[in-house]
Amino acid sequence: VNIKDLGGEHKLIETITSGFRNYHRAELTVGDDAAIVRADAERFAVLTTDVLVEGDHFNCTWSTPKQIGRKTIEVNASDVAAMGARPQYLLLNLVLREGLDVDFAKELYAGILEGCEEHRITLLGGDTTRGAVMMVSATMSGVTTNPVRRSGAVPGDLIAVTGDVGASNAGYLTFRQGLRPVGHVLARHLEPRCRLDVSDAVAGVAHAMIDVSDGVASEIRHIAARSVVGARVDSRQLPIHPETAAAAKALRTTAAACALSGGEDFELLFTLAPDDLPALEAEGVDLSVIGEVLPAAEGLVLLGEDGEPGPLPEGYDHFA
């Protein structure tokens, strides 16, 4: 049985980690954007790790080394932001190709440094070695007094997302067609930015939160599974940039499909009580309400472009 036939990445992780135990009396949540460990009486540490692999997550033809370095920081900082935390420390493992030019490594680090400076992250160390395929693996810690989990959504909550979605996937799919995307779509794919600019404000009211890394549909599935709720999402309410719509059209798909089934937007997707919406909007957070949380028995429903209900699609799976 290969991983695809088993049911992909999430099923694999579920299958093989079932034997693991918690040996430490930590206030511990696993299976969120980041793990939560109690740090002291007031504060929680959050810990997240991600790996970017050449050919799958990045590509030295499309991206500059500096963009790859910066993206590494943003991907991990986005997980920290999605917990309602501020990033603190970074550990970094680099696998570089033998014979690689030092300038490439320097530029990669320049992107990492730029991200660390912007988000005030301290590099603690790491491991640098060689391999046939480049890889950047980062572990980031953050701190918060109020971690926001995936599990807090309740029926009646609104589902909202910051910024706009689908642009990064539209960019990826355009590259995959052998074309070079432009403007917003290009920038969002090669130079994504996490939403630490608004995450504290959102965390103040969010019941459940996640970042959009594998597509809106996948993230809603995660929140629904952890919170034991259903959800209805209206694809017509997804915030789509005009250039994303144009790129999707050229790809003979829709921007909603790009947003639902592909990720790396690194926007925040969250649920909140309807009463808390006006205050958050008044703070100037760029958000769109895209649906609502339902009782679990009502399942996961997507209203299509025609307003007709249908099943919510799956998100992106690296093994599917």
Count of residues near a second copy by CB under 8 A: 78
Q: Decide if residue 96 touches a second copy (CB under 8 A).
A: yes
CA atoms in the 13 A half-sphere facing the CB of 102: 0
**Which of these ranges, 20-28, 160-168, 185-193, 266-274, lies near a second copy under the rule CB under 8 A?**
20-28
User: Which amino acid does the sequence have at 116?
Assistant: C
Which one, 3 or 201, has the nearer CB to a second copy?
3
The secondary structure of 12-81 as a DSSP string is HHHHHTTT----S----B-SSSSEEEE-SSS-EEEEEEEEEEBTTTB-TTTS-HHHHHHHHHHHHHHHHH
Q: CB neighbours of 221 closer than 8 A, spacing ≥ 6? A: 300, 312, 314, 315
Q: Decide if residue 61 touches a second copy (CB under 8 A).
A: no
Q: Decide if residue 99 touches a second copy (CB under 8 A).
A: yes
**Which of these ranges, 54-62, 151-159, 251-259, 306-314, lies near a second copy under the rule CB under 8 A?**
54-62
Exactly one of 61, 125, 297, 307 binds a second copy (CB under 8 A); which one? 125
Q: Which whole-number Å values give the CA distances from 272 to 34, 78, 203, 293, in the listed order?
A: 20, 19, 10, 9
Q: Decide if residue 59 touches a second copy (CB under 8 A).
A: no
Q: Decide if residue 60 touches a second copy (CB under 8 A).
A: no
**Which of these ranges, 108-116, 155-163, 168-176, 184-192, lies near a second copy under the rule CB under 8 A?**
108-116
**Residue 293 backbone dihedrals phi, psi, to 5 degrees:** -85, 135
Q: Decide if residue 16 touches a second copy (CB under 8 A).
A: yes
* Distance of alpha carbon 142 from alpha carbon 39, whole angstroms: 11
**Which of these ranges, 17-25, 172-180, 232-240, 291-299, lies near a second copy under the rule CB under 8 A?**
17-25
Residue 28: count of CB within 10 angstroms of its CB: 11
Q: Decide if residue 38 touches a second copy (CB under 8 A).
A: no
Exactly one of 42, 101, 281, 305 binds a second copy (CB under 8 A); which one? 101
Q: Decide if residue 310 touches a second copy (CB under 8 A).
A: no
Exactly one of 60, 62, 64, 109 binds a second copy (CB under 8 A); which one? 109
